Amino acid sequence: MRTLRDAAADADVHIGAAVDVESLRTNTDYRETVAREFDAVTAENAMKWGPLADGESGYDFAAADDIVDFAARHDMYVRGHTLVWHRMYPEWVRPWARSDTEMRRLLSDHIHTVAGRYRGRVDAWDVVNEAVDDDGGLRENAWLNALGPEYIDRAFEHAAAVSDADLFYNDYGADGLSAKADEVYDLVSDLVAREVPVDGVGLQLHVFDDVVPPADVAANVERLTDLGLDVHITELDVGIGEAVADRDEQAEYYYDVVSAAVDAGVDTVVTWGVDDGQSWLPARGFGDAPLLFDEEFRRKPAHGAVLDALGE
């Protein structure tokens, strides 16, 4: 039976999933589905600073290494996620108790340690994640408070110094044409104009309360690629509920949005998870059964829809 990986190879794009390291280690069906169906993986949580932390200034890379090693064994493209975020950093960082100079050093040390470790093994990094506030402007966070807006420049510069991966800015709510999408566009346009080493933009595309029109996704992709940037769909899921009514509508939307994105220039599409049983959306009331495989790793109509979209 034709797999997503087969279709992606023919279309010259990557199709991937965010993977959970414990499921990869312990669940044979999960592991076999990832290896068979996808040619790209994102570490769902294992590369975030909090899970990596092992005491003050220490690191435990076992989980992240397992994902990268699995990808290498199966000839998979690896997206590292994420170096700088306003959440999931270790408690000992305590930005309110540290000087701006210390925070600047922590930012540099963390990026050099993590991105440097995976040089040549990670193909793309989400360097800065979700820096734009939903209400406009940059999100208030420890890095902005300590370094000002230049923390974004520094993050990309540090990553470029130690990694040969493509370097991405990643965000949600900026997938189509919206005020936040405009903010992200302005942010990355400015980075490009000032020759900050950004290579691409990741559009998350979590769909649960309303659909993002595929034509708007395509228009946004096109204006970003016109800047000379790569664009990836990094965290795709489509919850059944308010946005789509059932599996058939879900499949139709997957087909429409993947077709539109790839036609507009997206070369990597990553779903945020492998199977419905481990998706983050239902637990938060953000829609049900959002992925391409059900809890038993059976292919859903959405799987066939993505196959068809890639086949075109």
Are 236 and 269 in contact by the 8 Å Cβ rule? The answer is yes
pTM: 0.97
Residue 26's Cβ-count burial label (10 Å; 0-12, 13-18, 19+) is exposed
Q: Bridge-partner residues for 126, per DSSP?
A: 81, 168
The CB density around residue 74, as the number of other CB atoms within 10 Å, is 15
What pLDDT score does 259 carry?
A: 98
Q: What is the DSSP string of the chain?
A: ---HHHHHHHHT-EEEEEE-HHHHHH-HHHHHHHHHH-SEEEESSTTSHHHHB-STT-B--HHHHHHHHHHHHTT-EEEEEEEE-SSS--GGG-GGGS-HHHHHHHHHHHHHHHHHHTTTT-SEEEEEES-B-TTSSBPP-HHHHHHTTHHHHHHHHHHHHH--SEEEEEESS-SSSSHHHHHHHHHHHHHHHTT----EEEE--EESSSPPPHHHHHHHHHHHHTTT-EEEEEEEEE-BTTTBSSHHHHHHHHHHHHHHHHHHT--EEEES-SBGGG-STGGGTS-B--SSB-TT-PBPHHHHHHHHHHH-
What pLDDT score does 98 carry?
A: 83
Please indicate whether residue 130 is annotated as part of the active site.
yes
What domains lie within the chain, and their CATH numbers? Answer: 4-311 (3.20.20.80)
Q: Which pair of tokens denotes residue 86?
A: 């306003």
The single residue of 102, 130, 140, 312 carrying the catalytic annotation is 130
What pLDDT score does 56 carry?
A: 83
What pLDDT score does 234 carry?
A: 98
pLDDT tens track, the chain, 312 positions: 899 999 999 999 999 999 999 999 999 999 999 999 999 999 999 999 999 999 887 999 999 999 999 999 999 999 999 999 999 988 888 777 788 899 999 999 999 999 999 999 999 999 999 999 999 999 999 899 989 999 999 999 999 999 999 999 999 999 999 999 999 999 999 999 999 999 999 999 999 999 999 999 999 999 999 999 999 999 999 999 999 999 999 999 999 999 999 999 999 999 999 999 999 999 999 999 999 999 999 999 999 999 999 998
The CB density around residue 105, as the number of other CB atoms within 10 Å, is 12
Q: What are phi and psi of 122, to 5 degrees?
A: -110, 130
The single residue of 235, 242, 249, 252 carrying the catalytic annotation is 235
Please indicate whether residue 295 is annotated as part of the active site.
no
